[in-house]
Amino acid sequence: MLTDKITAYKPKLSGHTELRFQRNMNRQVALIAGNVMANGFTEQSGVSARVYSGGYWGFSSAAEYDDASIASVLRAAERNAEFLTSRLGSPRPALPALPPRKLTSKITGYNDAEQKYLLDFAKEIDARIVEKYPKLTSRTISARSDCTDKYLVTSDGADVYSVKPRSGVIAVLTAEAADGSNVEVFDYLGGGAGFFGELFTKPDLLYAKLDEVYEHVMKKAEGVFASAGTAEVVMDSNLAGILAHEAIGHTVEADLVLGGSVAGPFLGKPVASEIVTLTDFAHTALGADLPQSVFVDDEGTVAKDAELIKDGVLVGYMHNRESAERFGHEPTGNARAYCFSDEPLIRMRNTAILPGKDKLADMIASVDDGYYLVQTGNGQADLTSEFMFGVTMGYEIKKGKLGRAIRDTTISGVAFDLLKTVTMLSDEMTWASGGMCGKKQQIAVGMGGPSVKCRVNIGGK
C-alpha cells in the first residue's frame, strides 16, 4: 500500500520537510458538431519533497514512488535549499512548528464513471440539440471529470490524505446573426465537486438549462452592440464571483502584497461600499459544503476562512506559513499545489462576495439606462486591481425593463473603485467551480456571489 510506504517516511523527515504524493486524473470528451474531437483519460502522479532552511526553499519531484526515487527527491530538495543558503546565508529563522494534525477526507478513493458513460451522456445531449434546435449552425458539448488524490506528511506532524473530484458538462451553442456572422453562447449545464457518475445521473435533468442557453443564443443573434462608455449595470452572480476572485482576490494574496500589490497600504481602510463583505472560505459557508473544500492545505496548515473585506473595510490577506510569519498574522491555509511536481503557492479556495438584501428583479427595475450582464468568458486583473472581463451574454436595461440582448463585449474598471459604487446586492448567491486559475501553476478554484449593481466601463461601438 502506498499509504503504508508514506507513513514509514514520516519519522525520517528532519528539519522543516514536506513529503507529498499526488495523483491527478482527468477524463474528457468533446463533441464538436457531432464529431468526437476529444476522447481520453490522463493520469499524472509522483512524489515531491520541499525543505525550508534559513529562509529559502528547496524542492524536487519525480514520477516514480520507489524508495530510491523518494530518497533522491529528498536529497535534491535539501541540496537546492543549501545552494541558496551557501550563497545568501541564512537570514531567517525556522518557521514555527504546528501542532500534530491528522486528517483523512470523507472520500477515500477514485471511483469515477468510465469513458463510455461520459461519451454516451454527451452524445445524448448532442442528439437532443440536433432534434430540438434546428436553427443552430453549430454546437459543442464537453463532458469532463478530474480528481486530485494526495497524501502529505511533514516533519512537524501533519498526516493528511485527501481526494477531490470535480465534474462538469459544458455547452457552446452557435447561431447565425442577421448580418450573416455567427454568435455563440457558452455555459455550464451543470457541475461542481463530485464524481461525474454521482453528479450526472440523467441527461434530461440538464435540459431546462440547455433551453435557457438556447434562448440566450437566439436572442444574441438578434442582439445589438453595447454603447462604449461608463454604464450602470447589474452583474449576475457569475460575474460577481470572477470579480471577487480575479479583481480583488489576487491583490490580497499575501505573496502578491509583498510583491507590490496596490492593496498593501489599504489594510484597515475602507475599500468598498459598506454593504460589501468578501471572504475566501476554506470549506463551508452559509451552511453548505463548498466546491473547492480545503481542510488542511499542502503545507499541513489547518485551513480557516480568510476574511478579506468586512463591511467595506479591507481586514486581511490570504497566507501561507511563510507570509503569515512575515506579516505577524495567523496562517490561513491557502498554500495549494496543482500537481505533484508543483510547489505550494498562495492560492484562493472559495472566494465570494456575500449576499445582500435586495431582489434581483428590484435591482433591474432600479436601472433607468444600463445593462444586465449574465455570462463571462474570461477575466484578467493585475495588482493595481484594474480588471477586464469578457462578457459573452447580456441585455440592455431600459427604464427598469430588460431589453435587447447585446453582442460580445468587455467590461473594465479598477475593482477598488468599482466596489465603492456598489449600491445593491441580491439576497441569493451562486457558486461556480468549473474554471482554473493561473498563477505560475493552474489550480481549480471556487468563486461565488450575489448579483451586484454598480458602475463599470463597457466596451462597444
423 makes contact with other proteins (CB under 8 A)? no
Three-class SS state of 167: strand
Judged by CB, which is closer to other proteins: 149, or 184? 184
User: Is residue 88 at the binding interface for other proteins, with CB under 8 A as the rule?
Assistant: yes
Spell out the SS3 assignment of 220-282.
HHCCECCCCEEEEEEECHHHHHHHHHHHHHHHHEHHHHHCCCCCHHHCCCECCCCCCCEEEEC
Q: Strand pairing partners for 353?
A: 278
Helix 115-132, helix 207-221: angle, nearest 10: 50
Using rule CB under 8 A, residue 119 touches other proteins = yes
Q: Contact between 389 and other proteins (CB under 8 A)?
A: yes
Residue 229 binds to other proteins (criterion: CB under 8 A)? yes
Which one of 412, 421, 441, 442 is in contact with other proteins (CB under 8 A)?
412
Task: Tell whether residue 54 is a contact of other proteins (CB under 8 A).
Answer: no
**CA distance linking residue 29 with residue 118, whole number of Å:** 7
Instruction: Residue 262: count other Cβ atoms within 10 Å of its Cβ.
Output: 18
Q: At its nearest, how many Å lie between other proteins and the CB of residue 400?
A: 26
Q: Which of 394, 397, 420 is nearest to 407 (CA)?
A: 394
* Assigned C-alpha cell, 423: 449600491
Q: Is 382 in the site for other proteins (CB under 8 A)?
A: yes
Closest CA to 14 of 113, 97, 128, 131: 97
Work out whether 408 is an interface residue with other proteins (CB under 8 A). yes
The only residue of 106, 116, 202, 399 in contact with other proteins, by rule CB under 8 A: 116
Q: Does 111 bind other proteins (CB under 8 A)?
A: no
Q: How far is the CB of 361 from other proteins (least distance, A)?
A: 28
Q: How far is the CB of 244 from other proteins (least distance, A)?
A: 18
Contact 110, 147 (CB under 8 A): yes
Q: Which residue is listed with cell 443552430?
A: 136
- For residues 354 and 277, the answer to whether their CB atoms sit within 8 Å is yes
Q: Check residue 103 for interaction with other proteins (CB under 8 A).
A: no
Instruction: State which of residues 230, 359, 361, 368 lies at the interface with other proteins (CB under 8 A).
Output: 230
Q: Taking CB under 8 A as the rule, does residue 90 contact other proteins? A: no
Nearest distance in Å: CB 427, other proteins: 30
Give the range of 102-110, 148-156, 194-202, 254-262 binding other proteins by CB under 8 A: 254-262
**Is 441 an interacting residue with respect to other proteins (CB under 8 A)?**
no
Residue 87, interface with other proteins (CB under 8 A)?
A: yes
Q: Kindly give, in sequence order, each residue whose CB lies less than 8 Å from that of residue 247, ignoring residues fewer than 6 positions away.
A: 379, 381, 385, 387, 415, 418
Work out which of 3, 64, 274, 398 binds other proteins, going by CB under 8 A. Answer: 64
Single-letter amino acid code for the residue at 387: F
Q: Which residues pair with 224 in a beta bridge?
A: 406
Q: Return all residues near 96 (Cβ < 8 A) that are at least 6 apart.
A: 321, 325
Mind giving me the DSSP string for 391-419?
EEEEEEEETTEEEEEE-SEEEEEEHHHHG
Nearer to other proteins, 59 or 188 (CB): 59
**Residues 338-357, interacting with other proteins (CB under 8 A):** 341, 343
Q: Which of residues 144-183 bind other proteins (CB under 8 A)?
A: 174, 177, 179, 181-183
Amino acid (one-letter) located at 40: G
Residues between 187 and 206 that touch other proteins (CB under 8 A): none
Considering only the stretches 74-82, 157-165, 397-405, 446-454, report the one whose residues sit in contact with other proteins under the rule CB under 8 A. Answer: 74-82
Q: Which is nearer to other proteins, 401 or 440 (CB)?
A: 440
- Distance separating alpha carbons of residues 265 and 214, to the nearest angstrom: 46
* Contact (Cβ atoms closer than 8 angstroms) between residue 23 and residue 170: no
Tell me which stretch binds other proteins (CB under 8 A): 103-111, 133-141, 292-300, 355-363: 133-141
Minimum CB–partner distance for residue 296 and other proteins (Å): 22
The least distance separating other proteins from the CB of residue 43, rounded to whole angstroms, comes to 5
Q: Is 142 in the site for other proteins (CB under 8 A)?
A: no
Residues 299-338: x/- map of binding to other proteins (CB under 8 A)? ----------------------------------------
